A and B are shown apart, each in its own frame.
Chain A
Amino acid sequence: MNNDLENEIRALVAKVIKKPEAQVGLDTNLFTDLGIDSLLGIEIFAALDKKYKVDVPESKLREVQTLRDIIRIVEEALKGGK
């Protein structure tokens, strides 16, 4: 996992969900631990789409629970993988 990318995405996620970066651990569950709703989860991908031009399909959104999941999906998308 690319550390720069991890830090960038953590900062972006923290900004979108309006929580301190320190609360957004790699395996922190965004929904159950941080209490975000599913549409705020979509907003994370809207912000990622804007920043990295990654077009994450709707089916992938349901796989996401943690920052680690998000980073994996973004890495795959940046590599052009599915």
Chain B
Amino acid sequence: MTEDTSAYWRKLLGVDGPVPPGVANSFRSSCSLFRPLLFFLFGLASRVFFPIKAYGIDNIPPGPVMLTPNHVSFLDYPCMAYAMGKRSWELYAIATKKYVDNPFSKFFMLCAAHVIRIDADADFFTALRAAAGVLRSGHSVAIFPEGTRSKTGELQPFKVGVGTLAVEAGVKMVPVYIKGTENILPRGGRWLKRGKVKIYFGKPVDPAPYIELKKTTPAYDIYKEITEELRRRVEAFRDSSKK
């Protein structure tokens, strides 16, 4: 008997039927009109205070992907998006309700990305379904696999939901390691300090071989394995950047 338990997960994620019409448009906001201006100003500020250097940008394949950076600072998303240039203008990002529900941070978030709000306690699968729909409609999504900013600066465990989304939406995950933002605006910090930011984009983790494993392996174990592979790749960047 096959061990495949993914049918239930696929139902929860709503990935078996056609993509719901307008799912991607439902996360667009008129604030996105300010996006070029925001990134222009961000670029000016970064040149003065925290120059950004990106490595491996060509590792981002064409088509919908998940960008999966480590998370130590509020600067992580804008730095990564700025490093990606115009391609980030169409990027969707999963953000926790705490910041999406705050009018001040909400404005900046909506300027910086098409935001998918997640409430991990109350409607976790609503957000994952939305992200799956956005990916399946051909758009890329940024998601912080640690779930929240690291309190210590160290890489935290990655949430298995990231691997679940990659396998069931059938999209590659680009490991991203951001170094330096933890010194410029650390968690709890209120003022920017000067520093340098380095961003490493790794070769994508392809879900195809993991999808093949479904015949013999319970779905959760597959999601966990691909999530751990992703973390190993980000960890490798962290280790090599220390040398």
The yes or no verdict on A and B being binding partners is yes
Contact A46 B125 (CB under 8 A): no
Q: Which of B4-12, B56-64, B86-94, B133-141 contacts A (4 or more CB under 8 A)?
A: B4-12
Distance between A67 CB and nearest chain B CB, rounded to angstroms: 18
Contact status A58-B218, CB under 8 Å: no
Please count the residue pairs between chain A and chain B whose beta carbons lie under 8 angstroms apart in the complex: 40
B interface, by DSSP: helix, strand, loop or mixed? helix
Interface: A7 (CB within 8 A)? no
B160 on the A face (CB < 8 A) = yes
A46 touches B9 (CB 8 A): yes
What chain A residues lie within 8 Å of B11 (beta carbons)? 55
Check A11 for interface membership: any CB of B closer than 8 A. Answer: no
Bound together, the chains give a CA A46 to CA B7 distance in angstroms of 7
Which has the most chain B C-beta neighbours within 10 Å: A38, A39, A49?
Answer: A39
B161 contacts A16, CB within 8 Å? no
Complex interface residues of chain B between 1 and 35 (CB less than 8 A to chain A): 4-9, 11-12
Residue B124 interfacial (CB < 8 Å): yes
CB-based nearest A residue for B218: A43
User: Is B220 a contact of A40 with CB atoms below 8 Å?
Assistant: yes
How far, in whole Å, are A40 and B4 apart by their CA atoms in the complex? 15
Please state if A39 and B160 are interface contacts (CB–CB under 8 Å): yes
How far, in angstroms, from A43 to B8 measured CA to CA in the complex?
A: 8
Task: Tell yes or no: A26 within 8 A of B by CB.
Answer: no
